[in-house]
Chain A
Amino acid sequence: MAVLPASLTLLDAAKAGDNGAFEILLKPVLEPGYRLAGGMLQDHQAAQDAVQEAAFKAWRKLRQLRDGSDMRPWFLGIVANECRSVRRSRWSSVVKLFAPERSDTPTTDSVVSGIQLRSALRALDEKKRLALVLRWYLDLPVEEIATITGASAHAVEGQIQRGMHELRQRMEEQRG
């Protein structure tokens, strides 16, 4: 969907305490937030938790969003930080990241390939994983990814390239 600057009227109202206005601003960015959290955490329940937490933090920090700024990169930045906190601070999520995957359906090549890819993705460092998920799973432009991650566009392009190479290498190691 097209990225629209946060409506001045809605944003002003939300900053003034109109929760209904905030919910309207939030609605179009929830699905991208969920896909980002899902790509980073690879667990739909953890992704939902991360998005809920991010929505609350966004409500509390709304005054930091400058008039005319895009809501989506700002909110996705909060989601990315939330995923990072989930990964770093919770034992259960660390255990999940290292837990073996088992397919619930009869194994096919595509299922095995999916398991291998997700495993390889988990092995990437956070910067590369985030860049790949934002670029390949959410189809965001490099400039927006740079805004979300706080890095330069040049650094983002490098992270995507290095992430892609490392992902491919790790998958080949598993297949080999």
Chain B
Amino acid sequence: MDSERELKTEFRRALDDVLPPSPWLEAAVTDDLRNRQRRTRMARPADRSQKTRAALPRFVVPFVAGVLVVVVAVAAVAAYLELNYRFPQSQPAGAVSVEAYQAMVSRDVNQLPAGPDGSCTTLQSVCPAPGRPFLTALQHWLDDLNRVQPPARFAVIDGELRHHIAANISDINALLAAYKTRDQQGLDRAYSAGNDQDGLVRDLAANIVASQQGTVPAYIASVATASGYVNACLWCQSLSSSSQVDCTDIQAASCETDVTNAMATIEVVEAALIRIGAPDSLSTQDLSLQVDLARADSGMLDMASAQLTGDRTGFDAGRVLFRQALPAIRADSGRITPPGSPLPAQLLGDWLMPAAAANIVGQGACPSPLAVATCMFRLTFTATTYNWTTNVPGYSGGGGYVVANGTELAFFNGHACDAY
């Protein structure tokens, strides 16, 4: 086993390998910054230069200050009226159009203060002031979502968004409570959870705002890529396995890692389905997939919430939900397929790449003399699946589903090929 010093040396070398020296960096960043500064100035009304600003007569300053106080007061009253009376609470507004829903989400997410900035993360910091504006903005957003019926296309993700916003509110309240009781561990845990939720809700919102209905090929490609992530999600496998030990202690770091990263994987898939919406011909299959993703997401939210309080029962319940959802997600993805039919008999079985060709693909990684025993790629077909294996150093195998469409083969829902 490497000593810590050896591991650190390896660490630095591994990153230096992919990060070349950067003598160009300062010029590149400065040029980009100046361009953006120019564009920002052009977008603003002209300001009077400080050099040319004349001194004001003494009596003007208190007068201007008085006017400003009145203006601010009027603006505050107007904002209060807008918050409380634009959307009367007595009746839901009914189904809204896609554009109106996107505009509402865009407006509400932009009302959120800037993300966590570290000002409420230790018992010595300046809490609770920074948490309040967050709570107000999140609650306002949740109220808006609860008042309207989302368009059909966003019906499922709307539920998840509200779920995540509510979780974010709970995390901030937990953070403030931990601060009040001087509980540093609780503070760390709640801050980390709130940080994750803040990123998740903003990402969900961004994908809702950018959502467009996709073509059949674009949507299928998006689902195929997303399915690969689920298939390769080691944390998802760990959470759904009956023999895993990471969550023997649900507040252990290993368990937190599993839940955080599994949630991030599912969120990436949810975001993909929203950003490139299903065409009408695949709307039924898409709805089924979205519903099962939402179940998985809910299970993980329950696990994350339970981790905050050490609630073993709640954690296990969330895990059951997640375990049930995961195979359903895979089945749903398998039903969203490119057009085609099972492979013909003459393609079934093993296809072996000669050593010389494999060595070229492997960029010279094979040992000499070249031989299939030490240098090969093998592709194995069944009627509906493909699987490839290799013994070329630095490469690993993969697999997925395949259909034949005339003279073409379409590979989809493959496992991500990596060195895990």
Q: Which residues of A contact B (CB under 8 A)?
A: 16-17, 19, 23, 26-27, 30-31, 34-35, 38-39, 42-44, 47-48, 51-52, 55-56, 59, 61, 64, 77, 81, 84-85, 88-89, 91, 94-95, 98-104, 106-107, 110-119, 121, 123-128, 132-133, 136-137, 147-152, 154-155, 158, 162, 164, 166-168, 172, 174
Provide the residues of chain A in CB contact with B11, threshold 8 Å.
117, 121, 132, 136-137, 167
> Does B37 lie at the interface of the complex (its beta carbon under 8 Å from any beta carbon of A)?
yes
Of residues 221 through 275 on chain B, the ones whose CB sits less than 8 Å from some CB of chain A are: 225, 228-229, 232, 234, 253-254, 256-257, 260-261, 264, 267-268, 272, 275
Q: Is B257 a contact of A27 with CB atoms below 8 Å?
A: no
- Knowing A31-B25, A151-B191, A152-B121, the reply to whether A47 touches B19 (Cβ < 8 A) is yes
Interface size on B, residues (CB 8 A): 70
Q: Hey, which chain A residues are within 8 Å of B12, CB to CB?
A: 136-137
Cα–Cα, bound, A174→B10 (Å): 15
| Contact partners of A85 in chain B: CB under 8 A | 199
A117–B394 alpha-carbon span in the complex (Å): 13
Residues of B near A136 (CB, < 8 A) are 8, 11-12
What 1/0 mask marks residues of chain B from 380 to 420 whose CB sits below 8 Å from any chain A CB? Answer: 00000000000001111000000000000000000011111
Closest B-chain residue to A103, C-beta based? B394
A52 to B37, CA, bound (A): 12
Chain B contacts for A110, CB-based, 8 A: 13
A42 touches B28 (CB 8 A): no
- Find chain A residues with CB under 8 A from B19 CB: 34-35, 38-39, 44, 47
Instruction: List CB contacts (< 8 Å) of B175-225 with chain A.
Output: 184, 188, 191-192, 199, 203, 206, 225
Query: Among the listed A38, A56, A113, A174, which residue makes an inter-chain contact with B18, where contact means beta carbons less than 8 Å apart?
Result: A38
Nearest chain A CB to B140's CB is how many angstroms away?
Answer: 23
A168 to B4, CA, bound (A): 9
Shortest CB-to-CB span from A92 to chain B, Å, is: 11
